[in-house]
């Protein structure tokens, strides 16, 4: 299970995101204005091999007229991934583990595989900041019982609405789209109007006014031909 090291990161994840977020097509901030970011929650998943750190972070930008909360799936690795430079958010020096390569996890096959495993009930969400502790507030649902989690391949695309992960299941070769809601909408209505939703993951985060909200972090539907 995930081990959380309470130590330093230089630069911090929020510092890395300050330059990375405005470059993304789903960023809602004003062009040329630097985001002002605060960590707002999230959860982790375990890598069965114990090599890759997996975190789904909610981060709120308070620089505009209204705060906007984004979801950033991170993967942390102890060495660069060949051919993955376009997905690199940055590098950071970890106080105990040394240099770490921080990637947009939607491009990391280990994170995608574990996210799909969570959706079909084969992985357990973990607390974001506490070692060896499941997070029961994160819930997952899949319409088909007995589904296997194995994925044969995956591809990711971004647009102003978020990120779509097109996966092909190893069991039957079916193509599914896992949509990552990059902008989290309080009230969990992110699947409204989406045809044939097969599953989803929901989680909560605190709002700036001291209340809390839940939203759909990801949902699954059949991929278009």
Domain that holds residue 72: 9-222
pLDDT at 189: 53
Q: Do residues 116 and 167 touch, judged by C-beta distance below 8 A?
A: yes
Q: What is the pLDDT of residue 196?
A: 84
Q: Tell me whether residue 1 is in a domain.
A: no
Detail the DSSP E strand segments found in the chain: 9-10, 37-45, 53-61, 68-77, 88-94, 98-104, 126-127, 139-142, 151-159, 162-169, 175-180, 197-206, 212-222
* pTM across the whole model: 0.92
Residue 13 resides in a domain: yes
Quick one: pLDDT at residue 2?
62
Among 37, 51, 41, 40, smallest CA distance to 2 is for 51
Domain contains 2: no
Give the count of domains, the chain. 1
Question: pLDDT tens digit string along 146-161?
Answer: 888 889 899 999 999 9
- Tokens at residue 214, please? 């839940």
Residue 3 falls within a domain, yes or no?
A: no
Residue 4 falls within a domain, yes or no? no
Does residue 43 sit within a domain?
A: yes
| 151 belongs to a structural domain | yes
185, 192, 195 from 189: Cα distances, Å: 7, 6, 14
**What pLDDT score does 133 carry?**
93
Q: Give residue 61's pLDDT.
A: 95
**pLDDT below 50 — which residues of the chain?**
none
Residue 91, pLDDT score: 95
User: What's the token pair of residue 35?
Assistant: 């985001």
Q: Is 40 a member of any domain?
A: yes
Q: What is the pLDDT of residue 136?
A: 95
145 HSE (CA, 13 A, CB side): 0
| Pairing state between β 212-222 and 68-77 | unpaired
pLDDT of residue 190: 57
pLDDT at 207: 73
Q: CA 92 to CA 16: how far, in whole Å?
A: 9
């Amino acid at each position: 299970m995930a081990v959380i090291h309470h130590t330093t990161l230089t630069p911090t994840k929020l510092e890395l995101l300050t330059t990375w977020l405005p470059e993304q097509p789903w960023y809602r901030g004003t062009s040329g204005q630097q985001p002002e970011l605060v960590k707002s929650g999230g959860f982790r998943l375990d890598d069965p091999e114990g090599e890759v750190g997996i975190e789904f972070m909610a981060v709120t930008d308070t620089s505009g007229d209204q705060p906007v909360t984004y979801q950033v799936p991170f993967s942390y690795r102890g060495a660069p991934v060949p051919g993955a430079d376009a997905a690199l958010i940055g590098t950071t020096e970890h106080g105990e583990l040394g240099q770490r390569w921080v990637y947009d996890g939607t491009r990391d096959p280990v994170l995608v595989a574990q996210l799909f495993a969570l959706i079909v009930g084969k992985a357990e969400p973990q607390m974001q900041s506490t070692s060896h502790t499941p997070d029961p507030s994160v819930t997952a649902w899949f319409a088909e019982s007995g589904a296997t989690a194995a994925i044969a391949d995956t591809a990711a695309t971004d647009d102003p609405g978020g990120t779509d992960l097109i996966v092909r299941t190893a069991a039957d070769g079916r193509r599914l789209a896992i949509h990552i809601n990059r902008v989290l909408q309080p009230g969990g209505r992110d699947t409204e109007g989406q045809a044939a939703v097969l599953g989803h993951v929901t989680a909560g985060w605190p709002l700036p006014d001291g209340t809390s909200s839940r939203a759909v972090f990801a949902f699954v539907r059949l991929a278009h031909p």
